[in-house]
Structure 1
Amino acid sequence: MTHTTAARIALSWLMCTTATFLYAQDDTAFDLGTLRIDSADAQAVLGNDQISDAEIESRNPTTVADVFAGESAITASGGAPIAQKVYVNGIEESLLSVTIDGARQNKSAFHHTGNVLLDPALLKSVEVSAGLAPADQGPNALAGSIAYTTKDARDLLEADDPFGGQYTLSYGRNGQGFRNTLSVFGQTNGFEYLLSGTRATGDDYKDGSGNTITGTEADLTDYIAKFAYTTQSGKRLSFSASETTDSGLRASQSGFIRPDFAAVIGRDTVLYRALSQRKSYTLTFQDENPTGTFAPYAQLSYNEQAMDVGALYGINKSLSGVIRNEFTLRNGSVSVGLDFFDESAEGFDNSGSSRISNGREDLSNIGVFAQARQDLSDRISVSFGARYDWASFDAADGSSLKENGASVNGSVDFVLNNQWTLNAGAASSWGGYELGEAALVNYGTAWAYDGFATSRANAVRLGLRYENGPWSAKGALFDTEIKDINAVLPSGGARGHTDDLTSRGFDGSVTYTAANGFATLNYTYADVKTNDATTATTAYYLGRPVGHIFGLEAGYDVTPEWRIGGTAQVALKNDDTETTLDGYEVVNLYAEYKPQRMENLTVRMDVNNLFDASYASRSSDGLGLSNVVPLYEPGRTISMTASIKF
């Protein structure tokens, strides 16, 4: 698709959307209920899945990897929080649009660390889009999006309750240590507030074979403050600020931390007190009770992620915003708006008494978008949209580049009969430019930008879903192709080198829901290739060769007071890689007690890795490499958690 053709498609779509709105506009408020294309079941087949508050609570996460326990399409690497990365169908999150409470997040400052440091203590939900991100999800959503949402005071209080709090204490063996979270919150006359802090400390854990994994101790601090005011007519202004820090002793070789490896063959490992820190500030306005067709939303956010990795220090900064309105039509809605971001990546020499900048890159983008969601009939629902983006890039060598491009998407939900529904979707997304790795800007050699290009992704999904009584099932074939991905981690400083990435396969699930419990079996096969060869386990900022993954989650209410459940993940042996990757099976169980005489108290016991399996997560870095000792996951770990509300 040429830029001229893409531009015409996008602009034509915007004109048609505006005409549709003008034709349908009046002052009547329509009660549409939930559009079928927007229902959880329809979106799940299209790859847009939500991990709910109830699911997060049942998984009792202490790290972002725990949030995705029992999933198969979404996997995470292990180790300490500083090292954890998230993958969707084998594609790394740096190729997705990642937001926290709507605020755009930048990528990692160092390739041996995670992209977005997040503490799940107040996490409310996670929405994941695999390949088919709608136009109003934001720019650079090449392989989809991940949207984290945290809790507000009103999520933790009854409507007539002015004040409350919650204290959670957990302790675990095998290095997990102590974790304390204290939150206080209140509301009165439309004003609300929430203050929360978390502190987690521990020791290095042992894997299933009893080996101590150096540099994996828990040492995390998290603060969050949220304030909001909502008028009687539903106009809501909110502000949130958060700071999350991981500052533990991490394994380091030759002057650089590598918390994603257990060791590097031939290099001595020493401990270095590394730093990973994320700061975020977000101001949001929204009309939560709109009348007629006017439902505005506006947000301005700033975040930075800093990384002390030893000899180098890197920092990413991002200022972003969005203004949009969701126009209500008789058969659906149209979201129209504008968004922008202004980001930088800067690296510093960290070896002296003061840091000296090695270089900096800057990237800015302005985009306009429109996304329609409509029920065309009782059996057919559609979602379709487009966006157009203008990007400007300032390189570390002083040169500047500008480019623009269009993105389009469409999906349909077609009811075949009372049990079966067909879903199909396609998207072509312009990715623009990529910032390089902050810590390594101009490190060793000056970066060169010959051949520097913009990227584009094309994705399709075709699936079915089935519902009959307590049984439900869904499955979809997917194909995501991303072309001309800039060298974020350039070899020899060649930022103009590009890679092509594909992820093709199938994901599906079967769920049985009873009155007192449920069980879900997930399965994903993702064949991930870079430049037509199986993706390496150190293809940083690209993907991982996940292959066949099974996920299981179940829960059962034994009595009104007792609940038991668990998750499991099974990875089959993957021999598509240069060195065969071993399979593994890991099972986690829990028992939870909520006494009826003390409804504000919850006591829980978790047994993670019940069978003491010795394994490395399929999404981990360096698997199968002769010079790397992979980072194995914790062996059997028993923990207790007590939470009391007041």
Structure 2
Amino acid sequence: MNLSRLGILLITTAFLPVPAALAQDAEGATFLGTIRIGSPEAQALLGNDEISEEEIEQRNPQSIRDVFDGETSVTTSGGAAIANKVFVNGVEESLLSVTIDGARQNKSAFHHTGNVLIDPALLKSVEVSKGLAPADAGPNALAGSLAYETKDATDLLEDGDNFGGMTTLTFGTNEDQVRAGLTLFGRSGGFEYLLSGTRSDSGSYEDGSGVTVPGSEADLTSYLGKFAYTSPTGHRLEFAASQTEDTGLRAGQAGPGGIIFIRPDFAGVVGRPSVLVPALSKRTSYTLTYTKDSATDWFDPFFQLSYNEQEIDASGVFGTNESFSGTFKNRFAIAGGDLSVGVDFFDESASGFGRGPGPFGSSGSEDHWNIGIFAQARQDVGERVSVSYGARYDWQEFEAANGQTFKDDGFSANGSVDYKITDALTLNAGYAHSWGGYELGEAALINFGAPWTYAGFTTSRSDAGRIGLRYERGAWQLSGAYFETYVNDINAVLPTGGDRGAIADLSSKGWEASVGYTWANGFVRANYTDADVELNSTTIGSTAYYLGRPVGKAIALEGAVDVTDEWTFGGTAEIAFKNRDTPVPLSGYEVANLYATYTPSSFDRLQMRLDVRNIFDATYTSRSSDGVGLGNVIALTEPGRSVSLTANLAF
């Protein structure tokens, strides 16, 4: 069936039960509690996974890459923090809506660096939407969304305590890593606060063959502050400020104009000698949020204003992305569920300049403005049927680097159905049509070498669909789904010859499956993803910046067991299969990690943890890394075996 026709059918099906549901008496129109389609199991099959606080703690992430251990649908590129990019089913995060604590994040300013610099020290959860982003996830959710949430004081304080703290210290063998963090938090009356700082430092790591990868050292500093006040009647106002900075010497090579550009995503470029030069990636965020505890059926608000700035110093060029955004929404109780209604906006800019001679010293900026209205409902409409459906409309204005102004608007809609065939077997399906609008170009290279042109500049849109089954019986959980995502008319963010009006079409389609077994003191889980990612109907290359990567087929394993009240053992593994769809076949690899934690019963505020990553000392390159399989690029290999010891102390 044609994907758009399938989508119309699903959305129509989702809306059909609504009149009957709304016709119930006033007593039956109140919120009925947890909505079945909103359950973790149903959402996971629809492609909306949550990486929970417990899972993050089990993975003990030292970087954003480690957060997604045990996942196959979400992958990251390698190297230092400055280079890390996140991909969802092979689609780069710049085509997704990315938020931190609800605050919108802009993209990177340079294509050889990552998009959103994140330190996972206080990360509480990550919600991943693979294609089917709801209307209240925000604008530009062409291929889904990534929503990061950090902890606050109430997450860390124990009952009855008004002050606390925790400190962590990690030593790693491979790159002589030292990572230290300190967090203080407390509350008094209606006030609460959290202050946290993290410092990570290391040398360049060695891969599985014992070869040092120059410029891969950690040099990261992160700060987070949160302050909140909750009134006696439940009105809560929170202010958060954070700054994460990655500095250090990074590998660079000569480029246009004879100037040096950092390429921390490569180990080297064939025929171009590498030198180590200082580089910078920096993200600064401020967020003000209003909510209400003990909300009523008709007043459950979320009001937020945020400012986000990302800077990249790539030696030969410098770029800055700024974003001022806001969301004002309220959740209403309706028959069998709830309805989220609101308005959001963003005002963003990209600006940069070159440090070379003549046209390679040019500068410029682009500005992008959006306002949208949305509504998203989630309902149980019977004992076996649950639905989610919504729509949004966006208006955009774009000011180009040459002074031209572009305006457009568009409609987005989504619908999904969760149907219990039996008590153990459930079918669900979903479809989303998203209007993406315009895209800011790469800040650091605006007008670099020649003035940018905008002939043919247009707005993008996407269609995404999923259908799957899940089975739950006792300790067993099994699921499988087929997915397709098409993103069309993507303007060139990194334009060839300055042609911003060039357009491209991207698709990601394939299968996902998961099987898990849980018992009283442990679990094991296996995930499988087969994602065929194409650009203009051809298998995508490994340097399709701001678009995607040829991830292919992969299996991830994860498990843990509490052997005693004091000891826990666990691990993860990734198996990437050879990808023969690319012009040069990409090699497969297997990598495994193990850990053990010890929490003495006589002093449970202390936890000691031993991690052994890449236990078999494999020499491999992450499937999502840049330049894999290209003859003119020396791709980054990942760290070889690394043993680390972490001490966590709460006080």
TM > 0.5: yes
Q: What is aligned with 2:203?
A: 203
Q: What is aligned with 2:236?
A: 236
**Are the equivalent residues in 2 in contact too, given 1:192–1:227 (CA < 8 A)?**
yes
**Aligned-pair distance for 1:537?**
0.3
**Aligned-pair distance for 1:18?**
12
The match for 2:395 among 386, 390, 394 is 390
Give me the CA root mean square deviation.
Answer: 2.1
Q: What is aligned with 1:532?
A: 537
Count how many residue pairs are aligned between Structure 1 and Structure 2: 634
Q: Aligned equivalents of 1:19 and 1:454: distance in 2?
A: 35
Q: What is aligned with 2:289?
A: 284
> How big is each residue's C-alpha offset from its partner over 1:129-170, in whole Å with a ceiling of 9 and x where there is no partner?
000000000000000000000000010002321100000000
Q: What is aligned with 1:149?
A: 149
**Aligned-pair distance for 1:122?**
0.2
Do structure 1's residue 630 and structure 2's residue 635 form an aligned pair? Answer: yes
Whichever residue aligns with residue 411 of structure 2, its letter is A
Q: What is aligned with 2:447?
A: 442
SS of 2:56's equivalent in the other structure is helix
**Aligned-pair distance for 1:522?**
0.2
Q: What is aligned with 1:118?
A: 118
**Aligned-pair distance for 1:25?**
10
SS of 2:94's equivalent in the other structure is helix
**Aligned-pair distance for 1:296?**
1.2
Whichever residue aligns with residue 67 of structure 2, its letter is V
SS of 1:456's equivalent in the other structure is strand
Alignment map for 1:171-190 (pairs within 5 Å): 171-190=171-190
Q: What is aligned with 2:585?
A: 580
Q: Aligned equivalents of 1:297 and 1:349: distance in 2?
A: 41
Q: What is aligned with 2:82?
A: 82
Do structure 1's residue 619 and structure 2's residue 593 form an aligned pair? Answer: no
1:532–1:153 Cα change, 3 Å: same
SS of 1:108's equivalent in the other structure is coil
**Are the equivalent residues in 2 in contact too, given 1:24–1:329 (CA < 8 A)?**
no
SS of 1:259's equivalent in the other structure is coil
**Aligned-pair distance for 1:615?**
0.2
- Please list every run of 5 or more consecutive structure 1 residues that lacks an aligned counterpart in the other structure: 1-8
Q: Aligned equivalents of 1:31 and 1:426: distance in 2?
A: 25
Q: Aligned equivalents of 2:649 and 2:278: distance in 1?
A: 34
SS of 1:54's equivalent in the other structure is helix
Q: What is aligned with 1:372?
A: 377
Q: What is aligned with 1:466?
A: 471
**Are the equivalent residues in 2 in contact too, given 1:176–1:218 (CA < 8 A)?**
no
Higher deviation after alignment, 170-179 or 397-406: 170-179
**Are the equivalent residues in 2 in contact too, given 1:25–1:293 (CA < 8 A)?**
no
Q: Aligned equivalents of 1:470 and 1:456: distance in 2?
A: 41
Whichever residue aligns with residue 468 of structure 1, its letter is R
SS of 1:212's equivalent in the other structure is coil
1:215–1:24 Cα change, 3 Å: farther
Q: What is aligned with 1:333?
A: 338
Alignment map for 1:22-421 (pairs within 5 Å): 30=30, 32-254=32-254, 255-350=260-355, 358-421=363-426
SS of 2:66's equivalent in the other structure is helix
**Are the equivalent residues in 2 in contact too, given 1:140–1:430 (CA < 8 A)?**
yes
**Are the equivalent residues in 1 in contact too, given 2:29–2:334 (CA < 8 A)?**
no
- Please list every run of 5 or more consecutive structure 2 residues that lacks an aligned counterpart in the other structure: 1-8, 255-259
**Aligned-pair distance for 1:232?**
2.9
1:495–1:222 Cα change, 3 Å: same
The match for 1:491 among 469, 492, 496 is 496
Whichever residue aligns with residue 164 of structure 1, its letter is G
Q: Aligned equivalents of 1:20 and 1:244: distance in 2?
A: 51
1:185–1:411 Cα change, 3 Å: same
1:319–1:17 Cα change, 3 Å: farther
> How big is each residue's C-alpha offset from its partner over 1:279-302, in whole Å with a ceiling of 9 and x where there is no partner?
000000011211232111100000
Q: Aligned equivalents of 1:17 and 1:188: distance in 2?
A: 48
Q: Aligned equivalents of 1:288 and 1:496: distance in 2?
A: 48
**Aligned-pair distance for 1:78?**
1.1
**Are the equivalent residues in 1 in contact too, given 2:17–2:381 (CA < 8 A)?**
no
Whichever residue aligns with residue 134 of structure 1, its letter is P
Do structure 1's residue 428 and structure 2's residue 429 form an aligned pair? Answer: no
> How big is each residue's C-alpha offset from its partner over 1:144-197, in whole Å with a ceiling of 9 and x where there is no partner?
000000000010002321100000000101115100000000011121000000
**Are the equivalent residues in 1 in contact too, given 2:362–2:447 (CA < 8 A)?**
no
Q: Aligned equivalents of 1:202 and 1:259: distance in 2?
A: 16
**Aligned-pair distance for 1:248?**
1.3
> How big is each residue's C-alpha offset from its partner over 1:60-108, in whole Å with a ceiling of 9 and x where there is no partner?
0011010001100000111100000000000000000000000000001
Q: TM-score, normalised by structure 1?
A: 0.96
Whichever residue aligns with residue 167 of structure 2, its letter is Y
**Are the equivalent residues in 2 in contact too, given 1:335–1:371 (CA < 8 A)?**
yes
Do structure 1's residue 591 and structure 2's residue 596 form an aligned pair? Answer: yes
**Are the equivalent residues in 2 in contact too, given 1:85–1:114 (CA < 8 A)?**
yes
SS of 1:448's equivalent in the other structure is coil
SS of 2:367's equivalent in the other structure is strand
Q: Aligned equivalents of 2:552 and 2:16: distance in 1?
A: 42
Q: Aligned equivalents of 1:235 and 1:40: distance in 2?
A: 28
Alignment map for 1:532-551 (pairs within 5 Å): 532-551=537-556
Q: TM-score, normalised by structure 2?
A: 0.95
**Aligned-pair distance for 1:339?**
0.2
**Aligned-pair distance for 1:349?**
2.5
Do structure 1's residue 607 and structure 2's residue 609 form an aligned pair? Answer: no
SS of 2:398's equivalent in the other structure is strand
Q: Aligned equivalents of 1:517 and 1:545: distance in 2?
A: 34
> How big is each residue's C-alpha offset from its partner over 1:572-615, in whole Å with a ceiling of 9 and x where there is no partner?
00010000100000000000000001110000000000000000
**Are the equivalent residues in 2 in contact too, given 1:213–1:631 (CA < 8 A)?**
yes
Q: Aligned equivalents of 1:311 and 1:603: distance in 2?
A: 44
**Are the equivalent residues in 2 in contact too, given 1:27–1:291 (CA < 8 A)?**
no
**Are the equivalent residues in 1 in contact too, given 2:31–2:337 (CA < 8 A)?**
no
1:553–1:253 Cα change, 3 Å: same
**Are the equivalent residues in 2 in contact too, given 1:26–1:293 (CA < 8 A)?**
no
Q: Aligned equivalents of 2:19 and 2:306: distance in 1?
A: 32
**Are the equivalent residues in 2 in contact too, given 1:338–1:367 (CA < 8 A)?**
yes
1:407–1:24 Cα change, 3 Å: farther
SS of 1:228's equivalent in the other structure is strand
1:435–1:577 Cα change, 3 Å: same
Structure 1's consecutive aligned runs of 4 or more residues displaced over 4 angstroms after TM superposition are 15-29
Whichever residue aligns with residue 214 of structure 1, its letter is P
Q: Aligned equivalents of 2:355 and 2:308: distance in 1?
A: 22
Whichever residue aligns with residue 389 of structure 1, its letter is D
Q: Aligned equivalents of 1:492 and 1:273: distance in 2?
A: 28
**Are the equivalent residues in 2 in contact too, given 1:27–1:292 (CA < 8 A)?**
no
Whichever residue aligns with residue 392 of structure 2, its letter is R
Whichever residue aligns with residue 178 of structure 1, its letter is V
Q: What is aligned with 2:506?
A: 501
Higher deviation after alignment, 84-93 or 230-239: 230-239
Q: Aligned equivalents of 1:589 and 1:491: distance in 2?
A: 45
1:17–1:496 Cα change, 3 Å: farther
1:183–1:278 Cα change, 3 Å: same
Q: What percent of counterpart residues are identical?
A: 60
Q: Aligned equivalents of 2:480 and 2:547: distance in 1?
A: 25
**Aligned-pair distance for 1:497?**
0.3
